[in-house]
Amino acid sequence: INTLPQEFIGAQPILKILTRAGFEAYFVGGSVRDMLLSQVIHDVDIASSAFPEEVKFLFEKTVDTGIQHGTVMVLDHGEGYEITTFRTESTYTDFRRPDSVTFVRSLSEDLKRRDFTINALAMTLDGEIVDLFGGLDDIKNGIIRAVGDAETRFTEDALRMMRALRFSAQLGFIIEADTQKGLIELVPNLEKIAVERIRVEFEKMLMGASAANSLKIAVQDKVMLYLPGHIGQWELSLIISDLEIYQANHIVVVWCHLLTRSPLKIQEMTHFMRQWKLSRDIMKTVIAVVPIVRQIENVTILDLYTVYSYADVLLEILKITDVADKTIQHVRSILKMLPITQSSELAINGSDLIKLGIVQPGPRMGHALKAMEKAVVLSEVSNTPEALTSFAKEQFSHDKN
């Protein structure tokens, strides 16, 4: 096949160099799967029989991005390609990370350690597929199936259970019966996995096109009991029916949605989000948006500046939680009424403030711009150069910068 997607074409010279030097080299993992599914290809991963030192010897520019697990990045024409040495992972005493990785020379050993058959495909540089575990059939039939014995694989690494749900949600695939049995059996092991790793998979799951179905399975199979925080059955059923119709388009939307549907008060929300180790940015957005969404039908004077600041997320959540169309129209008309829709529409900007000698470049500039933005949004100052200049002078020129 010479019609490989562009992402692979760029990496072909790298595979050529490796194979000419007598090593094996393949495209592996998600990129091969996504190509076969005609989905967007993210990063193209390369696996090779060459050991890291051998890779570094063959290529002029390399970076040790993860050399302890065998990954070296090769830089070529401004692009970076990760080459990982074929490896096995032995004895997982903490259910999380392999105790050690062993580099091996055989592709089959490397494919065997991978989580699901659809992720255990390899492809040569001319597009020939190596399929040792029936991954091609599973892709065709839409099946998530553990490579080897599911219980063993989930015992080695409990995160794989979250990944099964995540891929199922993203691809609309069903989880094969033995794989699901293994999941039901080993779900308590999820407690041993670092929150951050679970969170990544959970978020990807909830943003998937088939998120509702995966979340339903997660509830039925008691996965939710072993995740951080607690979301009640009733709220979960609401969330599931929301997701049957709408798909979250951003991580922050995922969390705003979950918490809108939860009965938690503000302090409790903060506690819940800390348990999930969410970023400050996401926590801040949730705290701003959720109270507005929850009360939107009763509140007559909305916090205009919050509506303005979080307009995109707010409209997304209103759509997802299916509040009356009237309410969405109301928020839209509020947004339309505002003098500006974004800070770039301010009649004067940062460099004007500097030219006018009102604010010096530096940390105070951000505060000054925010204050002008807020004053304009709340119609305390009109959005004209004159009005803003005098506002800024009044507010800031006496301050020491």
Q: Point out which span in 22-30, 162-170, 181-189, 257-265 binds Mg ion (CB under 5 A).
A: 22-30
Nearer to ligand ATP, 11 or 120 (CB): 120
87 binds, among Mg ion, ligand ATP, none (CB under 5 to 8 A by kind): none
Residue 101 CB, shortest distance to Mg ion, in Å, is 18
Measured from each CB, the residue nearest to ligand ATP is 30
At 315, the amino acid letter reads L
257 binds, among Mg ion, ligand ATP, none (CB under 5 to 8 A by kind): none
Nearer to ligand ATP, 119 or 168 (CB): 119
Within residues 93-122, the interface with Mg ion by CB under 5 A covers: none
User: Could you give the count of Cα atoms lying within 13 Å of 196 in the half-sphere of its Cβ?
Assistant: 1
Nearer to ligand ATP, 71 or 262 (CB): 71
Q: Whole-angstrom Cα distance, residue 32 to residue 380? A: 56
Nearer to ligand ATP, 43 or 386 (CB): 43
Task: Give CA torsion, residues 323, 328, 330, 334, to 10 deg.
Answer: 130
End-to-end CA distance of the chain: 64
Measured from each CB, the residue nearest to Mg ion is 30
119 binds, among ligand ATP, Mg ion, none (CB under 5 to 8 A by kind): ligand ATP
Residue 282 CB, shortest distance to Mg ion, in Å, is 22
Q: Whole-angstrom Cα distance, residue 238 to residue 31? A: 34
Instruction: Tell how strand 129-131 and strand 45-48 pair up.
Output: unpaired
Q: What is the edge-to-edge ordering of all strands in the sheet holding 121-123? A: 62-66, 71-76, 79-85, 45-48, 25-28, 121-123, 129-131
- Bind-site residues for CTP: 30, 33, 114, 157, 160, 163, 166
- Bind-site residues for ATP: 30, 33, 114, 157, 160, 163, 166
Nearer to Mg ion, 113 or 294 (CB): 113
CA angle 165, 321, 298 (to 5 degrees): 150
159 binds, among Mg ion, ligand ATP, none (CB under 5 to 8 A by kind): ligand ATP
Residue 193 CB, shortest distance to ligand ATP, in Å, is 10
Nearer to ligand ATP, 30 or 339 (CB): 30
Residue 1 CB, shortest distance to Mg ion, in Å, is 22
CB 301 within 8 A of CB 280: no
Among all chains, which residue has been given the structure tokens 């969405």?
328
- Bind-site residues: 30, 33, 43, 45, 114, 157, 160, 163, 166
CB 115 within 8 A of CB 152: no
Residue 41 CB, shortest distance to ligand ATP, in Å, is 8
Phi, psi (degrees; rounded to nearest 5) at 367? -60, -45
30 lies in the site for Mg ion, by CB under 5 A? yes
Q: Point out which span in 29-37, 119-127, 209-217, 293-301 binds Mg ion (CB under 5 A).
A: 29-37
Nearer to ligand ATP, 122 or 252 (CB): 122
Residue 251 CB, shortest distance to ligand ATP, in Å, is 14
CB 31 within 8 A of CB 7: yes
DSSP letters spanning 71-132:
EEEEEETTEEEEEEE-EEEE--TTSSS-SEEEE-S-HHHHHHTSSBGGG-EEE-TTSPEEES
Q: In this structure, how many other beta carbons lie within 10 angstroms of the beta carbon of residue 262?
A: 22
* Residues forming the site for ligand ATP (CB under 6 A): 29-30, 42, 114-115, 119-120, 157, 159-160
In the complex, which residues of this chain contact Mg ion (CB under 5 A)? 30
